[in-house]
Amino acid sequence: MGKATLVVWFSILVLVGISSNRTVKAGPINYKDALAKSILFFQGQRSGSLSAASQQIHWRTSSGLYDGRLAHVDLTGGYYDAGDNVKFNFPMAFTTTMLSWNTLEYGKRMGPQLPNARAAIRWATDYLLKCARATPGRLYVGVGDPNADHKCWERPEDMDTVRSVYSVSPSNPGSDVAGETAAALAAASMVFRKVDPHYSKLLLSTAKKVMQFAIQYRGSYSDSLGSAVCPFYCSYSGYKDELLWGATWLLTATNDVTYFNFIKSLGASDSPDIFSWDNKYAGAYVLLSRRALLNKDNKFMTFKQQAEQFICRILPNSPTSSTQYTQGGLMYKLPASNLQYVTAISSVISTYSKYIAVTKQTFNCGNLVVSSRSLRNFVKRQVDYILGVNPLKMSYMVGYGPNYPKRIHHRGSSLPSLSRHPQSFGCEGGFQPFFYSANPNPNILIGAVVGGPNQNDGYPDDRSDYSHAEPATYINAAIVGPLAYFAGSSKF
């Protein structure tokens, strides 16, 4: 049977399977369970040397143990961004920033998951520190040739594609990836400030140096690195938002007025209706608005207004909304991996909800009065949809609930583990019979949130449909906050 025929047959089979699942009832939402699983997911994305004692996702073992060797540096560790075997630092650093922010905001609500959240952050920051400190004047920003990798379907443990090393420097700048790396290190420094002061100081001092590099040598890493990062993680929004984001986090971590003056000099007045690994404006506005709301610092009132204008572009009943919703109530931004925008936007809105709850404030979107409660309810609807309150009664978090994606676009999950199949598959060895198969993945990547349903609330559960079936670290990092918010709250 040819590949095309097989895929058509497979899609029909899966769609029939989904139709039969429409009667499945979504049980009550267990936010604590979902939170634990959302953090556990990161263990499935780990690169580097994995210890059996600390690894709960047992079908994953050590990989990428020679990363950095081509540049004569140690770049082992970090995370694979999604279902592939490449380490892209731009989304990895954003993942780290969001995990850190959510841990700072909701750590007290995480209960026993707080140490696990810190461990997930540290797995990334240990790697980012290597990238920033290995060679003076150079920031390493990725390992693995993405064009070669995407022609293969093999386990991370079997990788035989070239592990090219990519970096930015004064002559090949990357203010976007450097600004995001600085943000990640600065945010994480606050997470570890009390529990590991020495590590926290190392993170912060490195963040300052990386931020200085981002400011001094202006330019986009997309221009410097070309096909090594585009079209995979091009910096489509430019680098000004990362300069703002990095400076915002360093201001938050240091209270150094130099960063505030730099933020003012950027004149950031963009009016986004999205928040993602590429576009950071909305996140910076919300974080800066904290000072206007909680510290009553009028110098930050502009950012409060910009944060509220952003939220008004999101809410469905707002007269200035520019956001579409599916019939089932899911925020719908873009066809490719839409849930990344749902989780990221839900995260910043839940945090803003928290800020205005503390100060007992409301704001207006035209004639619509917006309260902390209305924002909390909005976020809850989005999170509940992801966890199964939707037309298909399907949880888009793998391993949560009775009905979830079984054929995710993920190499390690879709191929038999080393313990079951010790022989290497080779670069193309995983396509037949595993990629082009209607069988569920043999390994369950617990906690993985996939790209999600289409604009009609449909989901074919098709492994080859990466824009809907692929999980990613930045989808999960963002949902950790809202899940902790609801897991630690007795009232919604």
Is 8 contained in some domain?
no
Cβ-based neighbours of 191, under 8 Å, separated by 6 or more = 100, 103, 104, 107, 118, 121, 200
pLDDT tens-digit profile of 161-217? Answer: 999 999 999 999 999 999 999 999 999 999 999 999 999 999 999 999 999 999 999
The one catalytic residue among 461, 462, 465, 468: 461
Long-range contacts of 305-309 (CB under 8 A, 24+ apart): 306/269, 306/271, 306/281, 307/282, 307/352, 308/363, 308/365, 308/370, 309/271
Q: Looking at the predicted structure, is the pLDDT value of residue 321 above 80?
A: yes
Is 129 contained in some domain?
yes
Q: Is 339 in contact with 396 (CB distance < 8 Å)?
A: yes
- What's the pLDDT at 52? 86
Q: What is the pTM of this model?
A: 0.94
- What's the pLDDT at 268? 76
Is 11 contained in some domain?
no
Mean pLDDT for 283-294 is 98
The one catalytic residue among 145, 242, 308, 470: 470
- What's the pLDDT at 221? 98
Is 227 contained in some domain?
yes
Q: Looking at the predicted structure, is the pLDDT value of residue 141 above 80?
A: yes
- What's the pLDDT at 490? 57
Is 403 contained in some domain?
yes
pLDDT tens-digit profile of 351-399? Answer: 999 999 999 999 999 999 999 999 999 999 999 999 999 999 999 999 9
Is 5 contained in some domain?
no
Q: Is 362 in contact with 369 (CB distance < 8 Å)?
A: yes
CB atoms within 10 A of CB 299: 12
Give the whole-number percent of the chain exceeding pLDDT 90. 91
pLDDT band at 491 (very low <50, low <70, confident <90, very high): low
pLDDT tens-digit profile of 96-125? Answer: 999 999 999 999 999 999 999 999 999 999
CATH of the domain at 320: 1.50.10.10
CA triple 265-266-271, angle to 5 deg: 135
Name the residue range of residue 465's domain. Answer: 29-48+57-485
Q: How far apart are the first and last CA of the chain?
A: 53
The residue type found at 196 is D
Is 205 contained in some domain?
yes
Q: Is 440 in contact with 415 (CB distance < 8 Å)?
A: no
The one catalytic residue among 149, 180, 409, 457: 409
Known catalytic membership, residue 461:
yes
Is 491 contained in some domain?
no
Q: Is 433 in contact with 420 (CB distance < 8 Å)?
A: no
Known catalytic membership, residue 470:
yes
* Helix (H), strand (E) at residue 205: helix 197-216
- What's the pLDDT at 25? 47
Q: Looking at the predicted structure, is the pLDDT value of residue 13 above 70?
A: no
Query: What total of structural domains would you count in the chain?
Result: 1
pLDDT band at 27 (very low <50, low <70, confident <90, very high): low
